[in-house]
Chains A and B, each alone.
Chain A
Amino acid sequence: MTLAEMQFQIPDLRLASAEIFMLLMACTILIIDLFVKDQRRTVIFVATQLTLVGAAVVTFATGSGEIAYTFSNMYVADLMGDVLKLLVYLTVIIVLFYSRGYILEREQMARGEYYVLVLFATLGMMVMISANHFLTIYVGLELLSLSLYALVAMNRDSVPATEAAMKYFVLGSLASGLLLYGMSMIYGATGTLEITEVAGRLYSGQANQTILVFGLVFLVSGIAFKLGVVPFHMWIPDVYHGAPTAVTLLIATAPKLAAFAIVIRMLVNGLIVMAHDWQTMLILLAVLSMAVGNIAAIAQTNLKRMLAYSAISHMGFMLLGLVTGVVDGDARFALNAYSSSMFYVITYVLSSAGTFGMILLLARGGLESDELEDFKGLNKRSPWFAAVMMMMMFSMAGVPFFVGFFAKFSVLQAVVAAGYLWLAIVAVLFSLIGCFYYLRVVKIMYFDEPINTTPIHAPMDMKVLMSANGLAVALLGIFPQALMSLCAFALLRSL
């Protein structure tokens, strides 16, 4: 192709208006921060929250539900992207409300940069969710990761936080390297980086299979690193434990939605022809994650560390839905399987936000309360919050009828429908082992004597949100159908 032949279409900026809005507002807030004298940064906090609400309005207003491409097919707007983006905004809004009190007590973190970095991380997630090009996925991922590295390190005087940031940075860079190497191999095999184009060339059989499989191995390893599944999970416990709890809350929630989106974009949209190859790899990762995550979590005495291992096992469980989409070249169950995964990841984010929020609720006076012992006798200190925490734990363990139960149930249904009975049995067994450590938290809260008897005093907004979060987990457990059909509908309109 010569230069003269190159046709350039002016991109349709309207489709990407949410991203543009987010970027402009993040830069504006960065400038406003220069003129704010208030030590509490209330103006910045409010502006950040309004930005997220504004982005939700923009996404809602510009989303048509149709698949549309812009920026030379590098950006895709579809219903799955819109739903996931709205959930990301909602999660980040909740995260910021929960973290407000915590960061105000830490001088290093209570600064405008905290909010700006959170907004840039959100932008990174939005870019990942709407990417239709391997390059865009990579840039979005780097934007997200770079903001998170800085956020983890922000509480500089804390040695564990610095160590966690260093580990996260080094291992995250390694993972990005693996991902890039995989992408370059896929480029070598297909001659393009555009995801829909890769799928097209694979259908017509114009690709070098050997290099493709080779690239796929690196791609899956990179994804596994970012999702934190075994054997690429080493960073998760240390980062979750070392990072300030407010940042752990962020890392443990919204990025999981974006990671789910890039898995769907890369593996399902782009490399569905190779489904047999990547499904085998994902089965291995899923089984190992459920085993290591659930068993190692039992040995933990620190709640953040325990939840880190629980995150590993949950991500393993989520992968189960993705491995059952295509059976012997038949994609009949694909929609069902992928929507069960999406439902799983959304419910996990919901209960994870509540659990880490509870640690933040108990942390007061610049001290953490992330040990299991800190939850002893919570029922005597505050029966309502003990009940909310119990709902979160039941949901994570998969006790009927909380939302986590339906998430596990729909994934297992997809697994059995695809004919992997042994996989379903393994998953159930490891979930049963997992019940032990979730229920131990409940036992500690209700049957142990409290060590610390000070009543809980949290700001009103946090109490209200935490209660809403707990009720959402319970109510979605009773009426899961609406969210399930939303996931199925979003994927139906997008794949």
Chain B
Amino acid sequence: MEFKTFVFYFFAAIMVFAGLRVITSRNPVHAALFLVLAFFSASGVWMLLQAEFLAIALILIYVGAVMVLFLFVVMLLDINLDRLREGFWDYLPLGSIIALLMVAEMGLVLGGNYLGLLESHVPQAAADASNVQAIGRLIFTEYVYPFELASVVLLVGIVAAVALTQRGKRKNKAVSPSQQVFVKARDRVTVLQMPAEKRD
């Protein structure tokens, strides 16, 4: 076995293991950390394909930003994931039978031969250009239309998030501090004079 193939299988095995642990581990923090491991192995595979920009982007964006935020959310919100996933273990036997069946079917359809991918026309990496340069150039020339639209998708994400969380004018009973410092004692307490009532 060539060394590169060995490295690929090494990363792939770690990735599959980490992916499995993401959905089976009972502790949400562990699950999130296993997801980080899965991302790391995926970026290793990218690196093997000489796609160094994608590998770095995966680490920077997913591991650096998304997963850290995710961990924060998991730790700050007291989500009882065990309760959310009630029934996971009940459905596991049926689910895994179906999943195995599908994997077997896929295997039968595709056969061995590395999924036949070697025969297909996968574009070769440009020899004289660096990855970052090529991606940068393509994004702003050939792929400018989907790239701009992707930014619109992000804008919609922002608009949707604001629309779903903002409640318009505040309905809570917060007081304005600037007004509160000018409050005098007689504004707070009013003594009412009432005639005493007789008990019957």
Contact = CB atoms under 8 A, between A and B. Distances in A.
Interface string B95-138: 00000000000100111000111011111001111000110010
B163 interface: yes
A246 to B, nearest CB: 15
Nearest to B141: A8
Contacts of A226: none
Nearest to B163: A113
Contacts of B121: 190-191, 206
Contacts of A114: 163
Contacts of B160: 113, 117, 146-147, 149-150
A298 interface: no
A26 to B, nearest CB: 8
A30 interface: yes
Contacts of A146: 153, 156-157, 160
A90 interface: no
Nearest to B127: A2
B152 to A, nearest CB: 6
24 contacts: A3-B133, A6-B137, A11-B145, A71-B145, A72-B142, A74-B145, A111-B168, A116-B159, A135-B143, A136-B145, A142-B153, A146-B157, A149-B160, A153-B164, A154-B163, A190-B121, A191-B120, A191-B123, A208-B120, A210-B109, A210-B110, A211-B120, A214-B106, A214-B110
B149 A136 contact: yes
A149 B122 CA distance: 36
A146 B156 CA distance: 7
A3 B143 contact: no
Contact of B149 (A2, A111, A140): A140
B16 interface: no
Contact of B146 (A2, A16, A139): A139
Nearest to B160: A150
Contacts of B117: 188, 211
A331 B126 CA distance: 40
A388 interface: no
A145 B150 CA distance: 13
B183 interface: no
Interface in A1-32: 1-4, 6, 8, 11, 16, 23, 27, 30
A89 interface: no
Contacts of A211: 110, 115-117, 120
